[in-house]
Amino acid sequence: MSQILEPRDLIARGTARTRDEAIREAGGLLVASGAVSDDYVASMFEREASVSTYMGNFLAIPHGTNDAKESILRSALSLVRYAEPIDWNGQPVRFAVGIAGLNNEHLEILSKIAIVFSDEDEVAKLIDAGSAEEIYALLEEVNAE
């Protein structure tokens, strides 16, 4: 696996105020990085309509449906942090992590993100980080082989 999370795919101060805006923001980063085509974002909304991607600990991981596999050009993550929690189907979200996995790499990527976000101290560090660079440094493990 190559670099999954690039600094350019991370926003420390997201502008979304709703769940759908957050999906668009996280998905837009994946499109802008060349990891997915535009239609992948539509499949992220399809996934959300069938099952919430809220994971707990202020984290949502919007991602496409299985039918959108052909829209994935390379495995990648995007991360957007929000100053104020976004209402995600009644749950507070401070981090929207867009994910695209080529050849089932999304499972390994998901497990790395889950490890970080299952630790409340790590989540607190991510919330308190002063910059995108600090957030990126805290998430370096997602790029580890």
Q: Which residues contact 50 (CB under 8 A, 6 or more apart)?
A: 65
Q: What's the chain's average pLDDT?
A: 93
Active-site residue among 63, 81, 94, 106? 63
pLDDT tens, position by position, 24-75: 999 999 999 999 999 999 999 999 999 999 999 999 999 999 899 999 999 9
User: Does residue 63 carry a catalytic annotation?
Assistant: yes
The residues facing 86 across adjacent strands are: 93
Give this prediction's pTM.
0.94
**pLDDT for residue 121:** 95
Instruction: Provide the Cα torsion 94, 103, 74, 64; round to 10°.
Output: -40
pLDDT tens, position by position, 89-128: 999 999 999 999 888 787 888 888 988 999 999 999 999 9
